[in-house]
A and B are shown apart, each in its own frame.
Chain A
Amino acid sequence: MNWHVIFYDFKRSFLKPSVLAGILLITFLGLGILLLFVNILSSTISSPSARQVIIPAFLEFLLIGLSVFSFFFPFIIIYLTFVTFVRPRNEGSLQFILVKPITRTQLVITRYISGALIIIISTILFTLLSAFIVEEIGHIKANLFALMLAIIGIIISQLSFYSLTYLLGSSIRSTSAYLGISVGVYIILLVTSGVLGLFSPTADKIYSYINPLSLSSLIMYPVNPILGFKPNIYIVIISSIIWITVPIYLSSRIYERTDYP
C-alpha cells in the first residue's frame, strides 16, 4: 500500500472547498440541533427515569446529533466518490495515474482508502464533539461504551455505503447518472426498512442485516435496543465485512476489465 499517495489523495479530497464545506455544514447542523435539545431537555431528565435504564440518557442525546449526521453524511459520501473517482475517470485524468507503476485495482483501493479516512475522521470528530456537548453543556455523564459503539456503528454503516457508491461509480459511465442513481439507492435503502416493517416484522429483521444503513443500529443494540430483536453478533460482523469488502472488490474487478479507464 502506497501511504504517500493515500495521504496526498486524502489531503487533497478533504481540503476541496466543496467537500470541506459540506462536512462543516452537516457538523454545524447536527451539533446545532443537539445543542438545542440539550438546552431544552437536559433539565427534565436530571434524575434517572425508567426509560434511561434501557437507553442511557447520554446516548439518547448523542443519537439526536448522530441521526442528523447519519442522515446527511451519505450525500457527502456520494460526492466524495464523485470527486475522487467518477469525475477524474470521466475527465480522463485517471489515465495519467494508470501510466504510473500501479494496477487498476490498486488505484481503486488507494482512492477508496483516502476517502474512507475522511469518513472515519469526520465521524469520530463529530461524535466526540457531540459527546462533549452532552457532557459539558447537558451535564450528563458520558457513557464510554455507548460512545464507542456509536462511533463503530456509524463508521461501518458509512463505509458500507461508501463501498456501494464505488461499485455504482465503476459501473456507470455518466457522471450525472451516477449522482442520480446513488441518491436514488440511498433513498430506497432509507425508506424500505420502515416500509417492510409495516408488512412483515420477520422480513424487516432479515432486511436489517442486509441493509448497510441498518448496520449502525445492529451494532449499537447493546446500548440502544430500539430494533425490537436481539441481533446475532456473528451475522452482524459477517454482514459488515461483506458490505465493506464485496462492493469495493467488485468495483475493482469492473474497473480492471473496462475499456473506459
Chain B
Amino acid sequence: MSIKILSLTKYFGKVRAIEDVNFTVNNGEIVRFVGVNGAGKTTTIKIAAGILKPTKGTVLIDEFDIIKEKVSASERIGWVPELPVFEQDVKVKDYLKYLAGYHKQFSLNEIDRRVRDLMELTNILQYAEFKIRNLSQGNKKRFALAASLISDPPNLLFDEALNGLDPQGISFFRDISIKLKKEGKAILFSSHILSEVETIADRVIFIHKGKIIADKLMSEIRKESSKRTLKVSVRNPDEKLITILKEYGDVITYNNSTFFISSFEGDPADLNERLVKNNYKVEELVTQIKPLESYFFELIGELK
C-alpha cells in the first residue's frame, strides 16, 4: 500500500517540467516534497492524482496504475490543492454529496452520513448550507480536505496545502496529518517552505528543476542541520587565536575581530574558558543553528 512514482517525465510542448522522477511514499509515512516554485512539485502531484498524464513513466497507487487503471487507483487517493477551485454556486453539503456520488460503494443514506461526518471532522459543519463561493480560503481548503477524504483513501496528496492558511489552519492541517498518518495512510505533502511541517515529516524529497536531488530521512537532515556555526568576537585577536579556533572547525574571518567556525565540533563553554585563559578578551561567543531552508539551498547550490 503506497504511492509509487516511477520514472515520471512530463513535457508541456517542448518545455520539460519533470524528468525521470522516482520515489515511493509508504503507508503510515508523511513525506515532504520540497522545491522552489516551478521545480515540478505540482506537476508530479497532478500526475499522481490522475489530473495530468505523463509523457513517460507512471504512478502506482496501491499497485493500481493511475493511467491504465484510473478508476481503481482514484478510489485510493485524495488530493488537496494549493488553491482549490470548485463550482462556486453550489452549497457545501450538496457538492460533497455530489462528489460522494462518484464513489459507487456508497448508498444514498451512507452518502448523507459520510458527508456529515466529514464536515464535522474538518470543522465546516456550520457552513453546510453556505455556497462555496462564500467560504474563506481556509475553509475552502478544509472543504477540499473533506472532499478528498470521502472514500477514506489510504493515500493523500497535499499540494502546498498550508499556503494562505492562518496559524489555526496550519495547526489544524498538521494535527489531521498526524491523525491520518496514525491511521496508516501514506501522505505526500508538498511545500516550498521546508520549516512548515518539519516536525511531522518522516522523510523529505527535494526536487529542483524537474529532477529529484535528494531523498533523506528527517532524522538525517536534523543531524546534518545540527552542525553548528559558532560566532566568536574578541577585542585582541592575533595569529595564535586563529590556530586555536581551527581546532574546532573551519574558520571564516568576517572582520579583524569576528570569526565564524562552521561545522563547529566541541563545547562552546570549553572554548570560552580556553580563550579567557589565554588572555583573550571575549566580547561575543554565540552558537548559530543552520535553518532547514539553508540545508535545501546548500543542496541546490544556492547557499543563502
Contacts and interface: CB of A to CB of B under 8 A. Distances in A.
Nearest to B78: A99
Given A95-B51, A261-B52, A100 B99 contact: yes
A102 B102 contact: yes
Nearest to B71: A101
B84 A103 contact: no
Interface string B21-60: 0000000000000000000000000100111110000000
B124 to A, nearest CB: 16
A98 B99 CA distance: 11
B242 interface: no
Contacts of B84: 96
**Quick one: which of B12, B87, B99 has the most chain A CB within 10 A?**
B87
B264 interface: no
A98 B50 contact: yes
Interface stretch (A2-10, A47-55, A176-184): A2-10
Contact of B102 (A92, A101, A257, A259): A101
Nearest to A102: B102
Contacts of A91: 85, 87
A93 interface: yes
B72 interface: yes
A97 B104 CA distance: 14
Contact of A8 (B86, B98, B148): B98
A73 to B, nearest CB: 23
A16 B46 CA distance: 30
A6 to B, nearest CB: 9
A171 to B, nearest CB: 17
B207 to A, nearest CB: 19
B102 A100 contact: yes
Contacts of A100: 74, 99, 102-103
A96 B85 contact: yes
Contacts of B259: none
Contacts, number: 72
A98 B49 CA distance: 8
B186 to A, nearest CB: 16
Interface residues of A, number: 22
Contacts of A92: 85
Which of B85, B89, B104, B108 gathers most chain A CB within 10 Å?
Answer: B85
Nearest to B144: A96
A197 interface: no
Interface size range of chain B in the complex: 20 to 34
B101 interface: yes
A16 B97 CA distance: 18
B286 interface: no
B122 to A, nearest CB: 15
A30 to B, nearest CB: 28
Nearest to B70: A103
A5 B111 CA distance: 13
Given A98-B50, A261-B51, A5 B86 contact: no
B86 A96 contact: yes
A11 to B, nearest CB: 10
A12 interface: yes
A100 B98 CA distance: 11
Contact of A101 (B46, B87, B103): B103
B101 A259 contact: no
Contact of B101 (A2, A93, A96, A257): A2
A8 B97 CA distance: 9
Contacts of A32: none
A5 B104 CA distance: 10
A158 B297 CA distance: 59
Nearest to B104: A2
Contacts of B71: 101-103
A88 interface: yes
B51 A88 contact: no
20 contacts: A2-B102, A12-B90, A92-B85, A95-B46, A95-B51, A96-B86, A96-B147, A97-B99, A98-B50, A99-B50, A99-B74, A99-B77, A99-B79, A99-B148, A100-B74, A100-B103, A101-B72, A101-B151, A102-B70, A259-B12
Interface of A: 2, 4-5, 8, 12, 16, 88, 91-93, 95-103, 257, 259, 261
Given A96-B86, A102-B102, 5 more contacts: A8-B97, A96-B85, A99-B51, A99-B78, A101-B75
